Structure 1
């Protein structure tokens, strides 16, 4: 290619990852017509159609599929060059997007945003706290907190912390229902939990109690919604202790008989981990979690 333009390739990657010009434009902080022109220019330069335009969005053609890994390699080289040869690895400026499960994101990371803003006023922090997984390979986030370590991709992970979960209920619910003296008594009670076919990780399947048959009649894909329903007296709910233990409207039920443990992992893309802004944010998350270890794993 005589006149290869890196910005055209950035537009290609953004459209390939999002499937839509408007979404790609948002990532690139450009308008969708500019992104469309860059895609057209790249296709003209290559002499190949890279996307099929469908009602559902832009889909990679075989030529686009072939270009994708090469474009990602060039992107990685560009990031490394900025981090190792330029000043980007020293400057605490720019955007850092953090993806996390809604409970951990809302109850642990969100309160840290004030500290981040005070320490690094030039950073723009974006928190994606929602049910589901963000894809670091597709650059949907720069840092992710996940329920398991990734098994593929150019990702670097470390165990952030283990955490405990217990069975909780509101006193109003317990006072109006039969007493719970042992695990067998749980079968007579109403449970709040996840919607089975919307579980995005096997670690969220809490209702595996072979000695007790329980029925989850109140279901939500959102953990915070489950917490609020439990506080309102809707039923029994398995909740992380780091969320529920400090709630004055909840009490543990059968604390010695019902206890689960899971882990949280901190994951970054290998290309980004050396950048100063990424190091600063990950360090703050690690320090906050390890400095309050009792909140996650108990005494």
Structure 2
């Protein structure tokens, strides 16, 4: 039966990419570490590493297993701290990169709560209309809307979230046919940096009459149009953003309903940082709770 101690050995080799480099961390000799990895692969019936003279490289399955094991390690560390009554607070600076929607409508509340528990911690929110480059250390961790497919990164799914077509509350939109002639608010087409943000493809619209690379600007444009009942605008809006826009309502919910996901992405070399692990656990749980809370307000 696979035990946590096996996962500890697996994680050490995955991080060190070498038996000889993992051995002193584990306080074992390299031969023993190698036997433990061979035994683990045998028990699971899978290949976790590609062995070569250059070291141990993770297979695709091994990389996925590493991410789950690292998440479990972080959660276990936090649980042990809480069980011991450890009240050590986070300090220093931590920067989070995020797309506009998360940066504007989720992270301020979540980070404020984390900051309240850790008054000596400086949290920076980096909102960019593109994918944050963790390899260049633009941020310590990032929220993304797609799971990265390249790079030495750890990826943890945070939560699904929902989006619907929104319009001013006075607008009379009861069918897809009512959308003809309506002004559409959306992304600047050639500045969509992730395929998951191409909402108009789901909507079947040919173009937009009011465009921005910022979700917050799109929401403000819809709010501004609420005063013009003769020429209302419509656009795809995150459900979690709607509590901040009381002039808007969801329309055609059965015809237009999208689901996307947020992922928490970190650089692989940061997995051994207890400080970042603790912050990531708090950020992950805080984001899940805040998405749920805001979506319930418009349910």
TM-score over 0.5 for the pair? yes
| 8 Å CA contact 1:167, 1:253 repeated in 2 | yes
Instruction: Say how many residue pairs are matched.
Output: 204
Partner of 2:181: 188
Distance 2:205 2:152 in 1: 42
Partner of 1:94: 92
Shift of residue 286 of structure 1?
Answer: 1.4
Partner of 2:210: 218
Tell me: CA distance 1:200–1:268, structure 2 relative to 1, closer, same or farther (3 Å). Answer: same
Map of 1:143-182 to 2, 5 A cutoff? 143-172=141-170, 174=171, 179-182=172-175
- After TM superposition, the score normalised by the length of structure 1 is 0.63
Distance 2:129 2:205 in 1: 26
Partner of 2:110: 112
Tell me: CA distance 1:242–1:232, structure 2 relative to 1, closer, same or farther (3 Å). Answer: same
Runs of 4+ in 1 over 4 A off after TM superposition: 295-299
Shift of residue 136 of structure 1?
Answer: 0.5
Distance 1:214 1:193 in 2: 11
Stretches of structure 2 that go unaligned for 5 or more consecutive residues are 1-87, 226-231
- After TM superposition, the score normalised by the length of structure 2 is 0.63
Stretches of structure 1 that go unaligned for 5 or more consecutive residues are 1-89
Residue 192 of structure 2, aligned match among 193, 199, 213: 199
C-alpha root-mean-square deviation of aligned residues, in Å? 2.1
Shift of residue 282 of structure 1?
Answer: 1.3
Secondary structure of 2:255's partner?
coil
| 8 Å CA contact 2:183, 2:208 repeated in 1 | yes
